Amino acid sequence: MTPAHVTLHPGDVACVDRGGRLETLLGSCVAIVLTDPRRTVGAMCHVVHAGAPTGGCNTAYGDGALAEMARQLRSRGIDARQCQAWVYGGGNMFPGQVGDTAAQGNVGAANMTWALEALQRAGVHVLGASVGGHAYRKLRWTVGPEAPEVEAVHMALPPGPKASTP
């Protein structure tokens, strides 16, 4: 049987067995990767919005995505609370228009903060993270002993104010 190869889009959640490949492209969104310590199963979500939606279970929102990841892992006999995690994304895609914090309107910062705090509340050990900044991230992981591969694609920042000449 050929291992699964899943490309996640905003709001997607996927779970694959060892040898399966998960990938996504992130801007202000955040991806959480969960795996059991033996790396026999991997799950990934592509979170668009921090927290919970105003109604129902929507995996574009962090709470819904984590719940769906836990459900998919449980169906394979894995307790999500015993998993290890990596967190990626949360970039500021509008530098010069919004600040670098959630309080300044940065959606990526809000997503990143939510993800790290949600995993901490759940007692999930975070093995690593590549978050924030002004970059898109290409994320790929073949479930197994190696860490996910992440490539940061830095954006050209808008020019600053022009110096005036007397």
pLDDT at 128 over 90: yes
What are the tens digits of pLDDT across the range 79-124?
999 999 999 999 988 877 877 777 777 899 999 999 999 999 999 9
What topology does CATH give the domain 5-154? 60s Ribosomal Protein L30; Chain: A; (3.30.1330)
Contact call for residues 111 and 29 (beta carbons, < 8 A): yes
- By C-alpha distance, which of 87, 81, 138, 140 is closest to 109? 87
Assessment of whether the complete model's pTM goes beyond 0.85: yes
Residue ranges per structural domain of the chain: 5-154
Q: pLDDT above 90 covers what percent of the chain? A: 74
